[in-house]
Amino acid sequence: MFNHTRAPLWEALLHHASISQANFHVPGHKAGQVFDQEGSLRFSSLLPIDLTEVGDLDDLHAPTGVIREAQQLAADAFGADQTRFLVGGTTAGILATILAICKPEDKILVARHCHQSVFHGAFLAGATVVPIPYTIDPDSGLEMPTSPDAVEHLLEMHPDAKAVILTSPTYYGVVQQIEKLARIVHQRYIPLIVDEAHGAHFGFHPDLPDRAISHGADISIQSTHKLLPSLTMSSMLHIKKGLIDAESIDMYLSVVQSSSPSYPLMASLDLARRYMMMEGKGRLTEVIHRIQFFRRRIRELPQIKENTILGIMEPMKLSLTSTFFSGYEFAEALEAKKIYVELADDQKVLIVFSLGTEQSELDYLYHCLAQLHEENQVNRPQKNVSMLTPREGEILPYAECRTMERCFIPVSQAIGKRSAVHLLPYPPGIPLVLMGETIHQEEIDHLLGLIAKGRNVRGLKKRKDEYWVQVYN
């Protein structure tokens, strides 16, 4: 039986900090003995546990002690056979997984709306990406879930595919039919990998969806830091035995992660697991109840609409559209009231709740929404509300891309050429044009339009008066 009241890594750090008499090892701040004076006001309580592989503190890359124990407790808590702590975010787990599964030129089916890290992983592995297309629900503006039929059809066309990778839930909270998808994927004896970056809280409460791993996923990678109480960049990779070579995953995790992993990050994972097992359900009951009440109150504001697809949304995300603002204007109006939302696009804003969401914050948000509703009774014609989704086109095999020369040219000369970088608005980090896809005028116009509105776009760089992009020769 696992004792979830314990946090072995955290306890070992505290113990080490209490017994150490002389510190002749890295990091250079020597447990906080030397540090910027102003900075130390904030950092001083953390620095004594910002340690390295000394004493009984184990080694993330070959764990035999407290890190191994902490990972075993996490596996039990998150319903996995094995769990790995990640200090490079879910990004590191995704890169290592794809590198472990794909040799150069292997095919991999990837939901086209996956995060850039999935395509980066495929690029590093030299894999050939077969995109699984997606559609946008016209009513809500949200991505529809991945169609099991589409996956089945693509697997028939590409029987040599080595894995299928999906995102569930999506950034906006749409949950995939993992059980059905896993059944289809497993008929081919290949693994289903789920990027569950936004679903670390799943399975901890009956009102939340189940975890992908409980429904047949072979690997799920969760950004613990996104919805649960752990430090930014701390994530977990969960494995179900059977189709996965855990040794290979470990090897590639050592390749993509630092050889000096942060102990505060790892300890925060240990503590997040303990918190969820000891207090998570109670806290979630409270917060979910609060959020349900808040959702009902918003329905009193007829010009503000929640974007949702019936029956497949998870409750911790709330996407709102108004009749009087574009999504960007909406976010700016809230920001003027010192309310910061996760992201905005042309149509909507995305609000992310967590176990830390307080009633007072929800009251303030409601008050501000009601005020904006009151002040903006006139419907304004919406400009540019159409969502530009990635077109369905062939992606150059990444093994080929790896051998090609790149050049940096003005965007006006890049139309019709293959992009050598992902072009994407960030957040959410879903490439509009993938590395290896053809650049079209429409996408460039859209991205330049976003830049003109002050949005963050990756892949385009300003040189003198023009934007430039890297393309393949």
Binding interface with ligand PLP (CB under 6 A): 89-91, 115, 117, 167, 171, 195, 197-198, 223, 235, 428-429
Give least dist CB 398 to ligand PLP, A: 19
Q: How far is CA 242 from CA 41, 162, 218, 219, in A?
A: 49, 15, 8, 11
CA-based nearest residue to 398, from 6, 130, 211: 130
344-378 burial code (b ≥16 CB/10 A, e <16): bbbbbbbbbbebebeeeebeebbebbeebbeebee
Give least dist CB 443 to ligand PLP, A: 21
Give least dist CB 170 to ligand PLP, A: 7
CB closer to ligand PLP out of 198 and 418: 198
Give least dist CB 239 to ligand PLP, A: 17
Neighbouring residues of 360: CB distance < 8 A, sequence distance ≥ 6: none
Give least dist CB 367 to ligand PLP, A: 29
CB closer to ligand PLP out of 228 and 320: 228
Q: What is the C-alpha separation between 295 and 344, in angstroms, rounded?
A: 19
Give least dist CB 167 to ligand PLP, A: 5
CB closer to ligand PLP out of 65 and 429: 429
CB closer to ligand PLP out of 89 and 191: 89
CB closer to ligand PLP out of 235 and 268: 235
Give least dist CB 192 to ligand PLP, A: 16
Cα 153 from chain centre: 27
CB closer to ligand PLP out of 116 and 326: 116
CB closer to ligand PLP out of 233 and 372: 233
CB closer to ligand PLP out of 137 and 342: 342
CB closer to ligand PLP out of 9 and 228: 228
User: Which sign does the torsion angle of CA 18, 21, 27, 28 carry?
Assistant: positive
Give least dist CB 94 to ligand PLP, A: 6
Give least dist CB 455 to ligand PLP, A: 16
Q: Nearest residue to ligand PLP, using CB?
A: 89
